[in-house]
Chains A and B, each alone.
Chain A
Amino acid sequence: MKPAVLEVRDLRVHYHTSRGAVRAVDGVGFDVGEEERFGLVGESGSGKSTIALALLRLIRPPGRIEGGRIALDGVDVMGLSEEEMRRARLAKVALVAQGAMNSLNPVLRVNEQIRDALRDHGVRLSARAFEERVGGLLESVGLRREVGGMFPHELSGGMKQRVCIAVAMSLRPKLIIADEPTSALDVVVQWQIMDTLRRVQEELGAAVILIGHDMGLMAQAVDRLGVMYAGKLVEVVAVRDLFRRPLHPYSQLLIGSLTSLDRKSEPRGIPGLPPSLLDPPTGCPFHPRCPYAMDRCRREAPALLEHAPGHLAACHLYPREEVA
């Protein structure tokens, strides 16, 4: 693997409610290499979107980053001042928000919104030069220049998401986080957006973290996958190996449900409900739904260990001695 652009260690994010802390992200660690496409997959509520916001340090009360280390391009993100962090957003790490979100300000024209972003990051250009730059950005995501003069409500969902990708690439960041960028879009548009994202990434030489729940889409789009369950990473592995030999029972069930049903569906067919993060089960959080649960699973939380080169899993089924 190439040197890491992003290193996350023991990240913990809690939402503080009147009934106690919700451990949305509970000790997550992973690396993303240069120009790598890394995927985070899991059910809704598993903490994957919270990770996206935490990486940008955008967790707002009642949420709080309780601990952990985030190093972006060798810089300790947690140690930055508010203003330094603000400048790092978009310039170093950019977010493409969920496709279903109204990410664009309804009362500003598209080019004004892109211009705002450039200007607040110290880009000083003449009106003509701005126009030229915004036009170029729009063209590189497959939009006509005239789109710049339009309001968000005049664009289709796919076009809006392309605008967001144009904004994300505007300052050539090292890392682009795409949080379910194709949710709520038509299947055809989904693939177009994924394609655009891939082209932009290749052009910039940036790394991408793709967050989603659609295993099928993920398998095509990323090099490596992290499987999230109840705020924890339960398996991290190259996509090919995950499909060839999934270790964690949850991953196995995810893949099983994918091949038995149609490929676009959200993981289903796993018996039981996701656990409450307010009062998580003791031991391994998956044990109440796990077909192979043992006594040890109820008592002791398994650590994320390397069971084969580049293949990490957190499960007591694979005692470290045996595999390694």
Chain B
Amino acid sequence: MTADYVAKRFGMFLVIVWLAATVNFFLPRIGGQDPVREKLIQQAAIGGNVQAGLEDMVAEYDAKFGLNTPLWRQYVAYVADMARFDFNYSIANYPRRVLDMIGEALPWTVGLLLTTTLFSWVIGGLLGAFLGWPRSPKFLQFLMPPLLALNAIPFFLLGLVLIYVLAFRLRLFPLSGGYTAGSFPALTPAFIGNVLSHSVLPALSIVLVSIGGWALGMRAMIVTTQGEDYVTYADAKGLKGRTIFLRYAVRNALLPQTTALALVLGQLISGAVLVEVIFSYPGIGTVLYKAIRGSDFYLVQGIVFILIVAIGVATFALDLLYPLLDPRISYRRA
């Protein structure tokens, strides 16, 4: 790995973040109207005493982003704010700051997604590897139709079914939320158990669906490696089946599978937003949903920005890990 490579990847990361911020800035301004300002004024008008601070916010907003300031100056001010992770106040929950609200929700989402993604990546990958290997037991092939079907269904659809069957009918798990309302968040075994039992269903709906996708992807890759010369030649060398499977087929199939992990991470976050919504799971997705319903622009912008930064970080991290997996990468780019 060379400094050049790292610098290039980091540059890519910055470009993604900058682009996200820019899109975030310009999209709501297309068409001349300023929905943020309108919402602010509307909120301030109905707010009364409680939201007295909103008046100041409107004034500050006008100074920074008002229609009489030139667009480029608004843009510079905006980018400067973003660079400092200053997302301003939540309009609907004034005087709470957007960053604080995100900070509260983020651990829930990261916890749920990181575990479920890695878990399904590993399990699905293993399953797919065996499905694609011609010397695996034949009965495994019966797993294909359910995997195909699961893979095609969106997360939240399965979530709805799981809520009904496992939570509403069988009462095995709580219906919604991240923990029982009224219990005090603390690092006690009881509370952790409570959190875990609340996360089983959202996790299950993500895991079941994504296992299908990972398994199919891995299976296709393993089937492809069967056609590679080095696998045929490994057979000619009289290597054991296990050696060929692990060190030749799986080891090589892992490369595109890892690239896919980076790409899918983006899709997964947006897909999981809906899972959180239907389970009222206290993560970013639910906050986003509430922000949309409350037209809380600052909050939505902050979340979108943070999520894209998170994806950028994940992509960057995988870019750095990739040369360790594929010796050809660092060589080519060096």
Contact = CB atoms under 8 A, between A and B. Distances in A.
A102 B228 contact: yes
Interface in B227-261: 228-230, 232-240, 243, 247-248, 251-252, 255
Interface string B301-334: 0000000000000000000000001111001000
A118 to B, nearest CB: 10
Nearest to B254: A107
B226 to A, nearest CB: 9
Contact of A89 (B230, B238, B247, B328): B238
A65 interface: no
A117 B229 contact: no
Interface residues of A, number: 28
Nearest to A82: B241
Given A58-B235, A121-B238, A151-B327, A102 B229 contact: yes
Interface residues of B, number: 23
A97 B238 contact: no
B328 A106 contact: yes
A101 interface: yes
Given A105-B247, A151-B328, A153-B331, A91 B229 contact: no
A91 B239 CA distance: 11
Nearest to A119: B243
Contacts of A225: none
A97 B229 contact: yes
A44 interface: no
Contacts of B325: 107
Given A120-B243, A151-B327, A105 B234 contact: yes
A97 B236 contact: yes
Contacts of A219: none
Given A56-B236, A88-B238, A90-B237, A108 B247 contact: yes
B236 A89 contact: yes
* Residue in A101, A107, A121 with the greatest tally of chain B CB atoms within 10 Å: A107
A214 to B, nearest CB: 21
A171 B328 CA distance: 30
A116 interface: yes
B77 to A, nearest CB: 49
A58 B232 contact: yes
A70 to B, nearest CB: 15
A95 B239 CA distance: 13
Contacts of B234: 105, 116
A56 B248 CA distance: 20
Given A105-B247, A106-B328, A116-B243, A91 B237 contact: no
B233 A103 contact: yes
Nearest to A170: B237
Interface string A90-118: 11001101000111111110000000110
B252 A107 contact: yes
A87 interface: yes
A105 B252 contact: yes
Interface in B197-223: none
A300 interface: no
* Residue in B230, B235, B240, B251 with the greatest tally of chain A CB atoms within 10 Å: B230
A116 B248 CA distance: 11
Interface of A: 56, 58, 86-91, 94-95, 97, 101-108, 116-117, 120-121, 151, 153-154, 164, 167
Given A86-B238, A97-B232, A101-B233, 18 more contacts: A86-B239, A87-B238, A90-B237, A97-B236, A102-B229, A105-B230, A105-B248, A106-B328, A108-B251, A116-B234, A116-B239, A116-B247, A117-B238, A120-B240, A151-B327, A153-B327, A164-B233, A167-B237
19 contacts: A89-B237, A89-B238, A94-B237, A97-B233, A97-B236, A101-B233, A102-B230, A105-B252, A106-B230, A107-B255, A107-B327, A108-B247, A117-B237, A120-B237, A120-B243, A151-B327, A151-B328, A154-B331, A164-B233
Interface of B: 228-230, 232-240, 243, 247-248, 251-252, 255, 325-328, 331
Shortest 10 CB-CB contacts between residues of A and residues of B: A89-B238, A101-B229, A95-B236, A103-B233, A90-B238, A151-B327, A102-B229, A105-B230, A120-B240, A117-B237
